[in-house]
A = this chain, B = another copy of it.
Amino acid sequence: MTPESAFITALQALATHPAARGLADDCAVLEVGGETLILTHDMMVEGVHWLPAQDPADVAWKLLATNLSDLASKGAEPVGVLLGYTLAGDHARFIEGLGEALAHFGVPLLGGDTVRAPGPQSLGLTALGRATCRPVPSRSGARAGDDIWITGPVGRAMLGFEALSAGNTSADTSAYRRPVPRLAEGRALAPLVTAMMDVSDGLLLDARRMAEASAASFALDPAAIPLPAELPAERAREALAWGDDYELLFTLPSGTAPPCPAHRIGTVLPRGTAPLLLGDTPPEGPLGYEHR
């Protein structure tokens, strides 16, 4: 058991309120007044979640986008965010990027905290949303016979990260720097899906998590998984274990057509010995990033 999973297991024992969903979902789902609130908090740390040389404006964008992606996976409409910021780096560029992202996604900044701290910069963001349909989708509703879908390709963020790391300024690195959460798609899909989550840690890892949560097996067809046109064929397997693309992974009853562009990439099976099959066999090697 890794330190992270040991910590989360211990935390789960404290999170007994039904709104916490056992800390096993992307968000908390809380009934307040006549609304269903969707709550998420994600952190990003310099050198872990972004390259120290990256433009702070892009870091701010990504901090907001990744949290909104969690709301998207619940079909939620964003209501506002709170920012936790440690003073470091270029504040002016951070503010600029945050302002652009807030305006782009139409989300108000409601509050937060700013502290001085030594060491790598550490950022946190809490996003608050309002459910647009009930029940609110979870990871655990996939049923044998359902089709497995994804809203777009995986691997674009990987290529963007590599170009950025290599200092390749002619490449389009926006998929890594400025991901766009699938908010409209999430809202359109929420009333139809049996399960939904965003792909943040790698398609294979996240698909296995959804299969485990649903007590099912997910059989993915490798030939059906959308990949960027510019990805070399021999790197396809690698792209399946890279995260940061923030597409939505979801299941629909067989025969239901999604209301937005999406790719059918597999079928839910009754739980067999393996929670995940890629083609006919459980995938070997890394499935994704376990420690973010």
Contact = CB atoms under 8 A, between A and B. Distances in A.
A37 B110 CA distance: 12
Interface in A1-49: 3-4, 6-8, 10-11, 14-17, 19-21, 23, 27-28, 30, 32-35, 37, 39-45, 47-49
A4 B3 CA distance: 33
B116 A118 contact: no
Interface stretch (A86-94, A135-143, A179-187, A202-210): A86-94
Contact of A92 (B10, B41, B108): B10
A33 B30 contact: no
A111 B113 CA distance: 19
Interface string A170-211: 000000000000000000000000000000000000000000
Nearest to A119: B119
A6 B95 CA distance: 11
Interface string A89-107: 0011001001100100000
A84 B82 contact: no
Given A11-B95, A20-B108, 18 more contacts: A10-B91, A11-B109, A14-B109, A15-B111, A20-B80, A21-B111, A28-B82, A28-B110, A32-B32, A33-B33, A42-B84, A45-B115, A45-B118, A45-B122, A84-B124, A115-B291, A116-B292, A118-B120
Contacts of A41: 82-84, 111-113, 124, 126
A30 B33 CA distance: 12
B79 A32 contact: yes
Of A21, A80, A99, A102, most buried by chain B (CB within 10 Å of CB) is A80
A15 B86 contact: no
Interface residues of A, number: 67
Given A14-B95, A109-B20, A115 B49 contact: yes
29 contacts: A3-B116, A4-B114, A11-B98, A14-B99, A17-B80, A19-B108, A20-B80, A20-B108, A20-B109, A28-B80, A32-B35, A33-B34, A33-B130, A34-B34, A34-B35, A37-B37, A39-B111, A40-B82, A42-B113, A43-B86, A43-B113, A47-B118, A48-B118, A115-B292, A116-B292, A117-B122, A119-B120, A122-B122, A124-B124
